[in-house]
Amino acid sequence: MIELIGNLSLAAAVLVAAATVIASIGAAALGPVAGAPWLRGSRWLVASLAVFVTVAAAMLLTALMTHDFRFTYVAAYTERALPVGFTFAALWAGQEGSLLLWAWLLSMLCLMATMGWRRLVGTEVAVAHAVLAVVCGFFAVILLFAANPFQMFDGPPPLDGRGLNPQLQDLAMIIHPPLLFTGYAGFTMPFAMLVGVLIAGPRDNRWLSHIRRWILFSWMFLGAGIVMGAWWAYIELGWGGYWAWDPVENASLLPWLTSTALLHSIVVQQHRGMFRIWNASLVALTFLLCLFGTYITRSGVIDSVHAFAASLLGVFFLVFLLLMTALAVGLIVWRRRKLAPDRPLEALVSREGAFLAGNVLLTIMMLVTLVGTIFPLLGQLVGHEGVTVKAPFYNRVVAPMAILLVGLMAVGPVLAFGVQAARKIAVNLRIPAAAVVVVTGGTLLLLTGNVWALLCVAIVTLGTSSVLLDFVKSFSARRRSTGEGVLAATVNLIDTNHRRYGGQLAHLGVMMIVIGVAGSSLFSRETLHRVVPGQTFEVDGYRGTFLGLTDIRGSNYSAVQASVELTDSSGDTRVATPEVRFYDTWPEQPNTEVALRSTWLEDTYVTLAGWEGGGRNAAIQVRVNPLVLWIWIGGIVMVAGGLFCLLPRQLLWPRAVTATALRRSPAVDRPVEPVVSTSVANSEITA
C-alpha cells in the first residue's frame, strides 16, 4: 500500500504540474481580466501539487520509521538499532530521499509564494506560476522514473538494514541538509518571477519588492546550512578543520556568493535605478548555480566525500541546467534595452561604487571557486586525468579577495550615495580610523606581528566602529528631533528600519567569522603524544595525564574510549573522552569522535589517534584552535541579522514605549521634526 500510494502521489504531482503550466499559460494569454479565473486555478493546482508531494514524502517516512525493509531505500539507510532521530534523518540520507525532501520543500515554498502573490495579476505572475510548476514537475519526473524511493526488492527482503554511514550519525545530519535544501529551493521563486517580468517586459522596479524577501530568506537558510556543515566537519571528521574546499562544499558556497552580491545590488536598483541587467543576471545565475551544485553532487563526475555515487541522474540535471541557462540568457539578451539603467555611475567613491566593487569581487571569487571545482573535468577534456585543485590554491587566491571584500563592507556604513560621497568620506572615517590605529597598534605590541592577523584586526575594527558610529549618529539625530528618551529612541530607530539594522547586524556576524577564521587558521597548534596510563605530557599551557582506555557499548556500535585529564594554567581540570567507534553494520569504517572544549578564546580538540600493546599504549592528538567559537557565534549573528531584515516594521510596540518615554522627557512640548541624518537619509542596507 505504501508503494502504491507513494507512486500514485508522484504521478499525480507530474500531472498536476503539467496542468498548472497549461492554466498559467492560459492566464497569461487571456490577460489580467479574462485570465483571472485561470490564474486562481493555477494557484489551487500549486496547492494540490504540494499536497501530493507531501503524501509521497509521508509514505517514505512511514516506511523508514516502521523499518519496512521491503523497500531498497529503507534497507540501505536504516537498521533496527538506529536511534529514532537518525531513522527520521534517513529520509534525506540517500539519493532518492534527498531528492524527495528537496521536491517537498520546493512544493511548500511554491505554495507560500503563490499565496503571497495572490493579489498580483498579469503576465508576470502567470508566467512565474508556470516556471514554478516546471521546476516542481522536473523533480517529480526524476523521482518517478529515475530515482524512485519506493523501489522494492524482487526477492525476500533482508531481516535488517545497512544503517547510516557512521559519519552521518551526528546531530548535524538532522539539521544541515534541510537548511541547505531550503536555501536551494527558495532561489527558485526569484528566478520564476524574473522570467515572468522579462517575458512581460520590465516596466519599473516594483517586481524587486516581490522577490527581495525570497532572496533574503534563501540566503539566510543557505548561509545557516553552510555554517552548520562547517561545524559538522569540525566535530565529526576529526581533522581539526571546518572547511576543506571540497567540490560539494564549494558548490554550496557558489550561490551564496552570488546571492550576497544580489542582496546589495538590488538596493542600488531600488534607490538609484541602476544595475538592472546585473541584478537580472545575478537572479538567474544564483538559481542556475543551485542546479549546478545538484549536478556536481549527484552525477559522480567529481570525487567528493559528500557526493553520491555516479548515476544517470547527472545527465537529467545537466540537460535541465542547460535548458534553464538558455532560457535565462535568451530572455536577458532579448530585454537588454528595457533593462538599461536610469542613470550612469556618478562616482566610484560612493555607496553604489562600493556595492559595484563588492559585486565584482564576489563574482570573481565565485568564478575562481567554480573553475577550481570543475578543474578535474577540464583536465579530462584535455587528456590530463586526476588533476585537482587543492585547498592551498583557494587560500592563496580567494582568501585575499575575501579580506578585501570585508574591507569594503567595513567602510560601507560611512559612504553616501552620489557625487558628494568622496567629499564626506574623510570626515566620516576619522573616528573609525582612530579606532583602527589604537586597536591594531595594541595588537601589534601585545599579541602578534603577523601581517595577516593585523590586517584582519584592522578591518574588523574599522567595520565594527563604522557600524557603531553610524548608529550613534542616527540615535542622536532622532533624540534631537523627537525628544524621545533613550529607550524609546533606540527601540523606535531600530524598529522603523529593520532592513538597515538587520543588515548591519549581519555585517557584525561576518566580522566575528573573520575573527574566528583568522585566529584558527594562523595560530592553531597540534601535537601528538604516545603515552601509557599515568603518563603526563605538556601541550601549549595544558598538562595532560593519560588515564587509560575503556571499551564501551552504544545502541548500534562498540567503541574504544580514552580518558585524558587536562589541567590548564589556572588549575582548572577536566577529563576529555575521545572515542573511536566501530558501528555494527559498518565495521570496515571506524569513526572518530572528538572530545572538544570550547571557550571564547580557544578550542581544545582531543582525538584518539590509535593504540597498541593490547590497549595499553595510546596515541593522543591534541589540537589548540584559537577563536573558533567566534565562527559559530558569527554565523548565528549573521543569520539573525537576515531574520531581522524580514520582520515587519513597528514590531516592538513603539507607541507604548514612545508614550512612556515622552511623558518623562523635558522636550515633550517640542514639536516633532523629521529625523535627518546623513547615514539614514542616504541609504538602506540589506544583509
Tell me which residue has cell 578585501. 404
What local confidence, expressed as pLDDT, does residue 632 receive?
96
Q: 3-state SS of 595-633?
A: EEEECCCEEEEEEEEEEECCCCEEEEEEEEEECCHHHHH
Q: What is the pLDDT averaged over residues 351-377? A: 88
Q: Is the pLDDT of residue 599 over 70?
A: yes
With CA atoms as reference, report the closest residue to 265 among 368, 365, 351: 351
| pLDDT cut 90: percent of the chain above it | 61
- Residue 133 or 658, more confident: 133
Q: What is the pLDDT of residues 1-34, one digit of tens each?
A: 899 999 999 999 999 999 999 999 999 999 888 8
Q: Is the pLDDT of residue 456 over 70?
A: yes
Q: How many CB atoms lie within 10 A of CB 507?
A: 23
Which regions of 309-409 does DSSP assign to beta strands (E)?
Answer: none
User: CB within 8 A of 368, min separation 6: which ones?
Assistant: 394, 397, 398, 401
Rounded to an integer, what distance in angstroms lies between the CA atom of residue 629 and that of residue 649? 32
Please give the grid coordinates belonging to residue 354. 562600493
Q: Is the pLDDT of residue 681 over 70?
A: no
- Has this prediction a pTM greater than 0.75? yes
Tell me which residue has cell 595532560. 544
Q: Is the pLDDT of residue 321 over 50?
A: yes
The rounded mean pLDDT for the chain is: 87
Q: How many CB atoms lie within 10 A of CB 339?
A: 20
Q: What string of DSSP letters covers 52-88?
A: HHHHHHHHHHHHHHTT-TTBHHHHHH--TTS-HHHHH
What local confidence, expressed as pLDDT, does residue 341 receive?
80
383: left (phi over 0), alpha (psi -120 to 50) or beta: left
Q: How many CB atoms lie within 10 A of CB 493?
A: 23
In one letter, which amino acid is 175? I
Write down the domain spans for the chain. Answer: 1-164, 166-344, 406-522+645-682, 530-630
Q: Pick the range with the lowest mean pLDDT from 142-156, 308-322, 531-545.
A: 308-322
Q: What is the pLDDT averaged over residues 322-332? A: 96
Q: What is the pLDDT of residues 393-437, one digit of tens each?
A: 998 999 899 999 998 888 877 766 655 666 667 677 888 889 999
Query: How far from chain centre, in Å, is Cα 521?
Result: 21
Rounded to an integer, what distance in angstroms lies between the CA atom of residue 346 and that of residue 473? 26
Please give the grid coordinates belonging to residue 277. 541587467
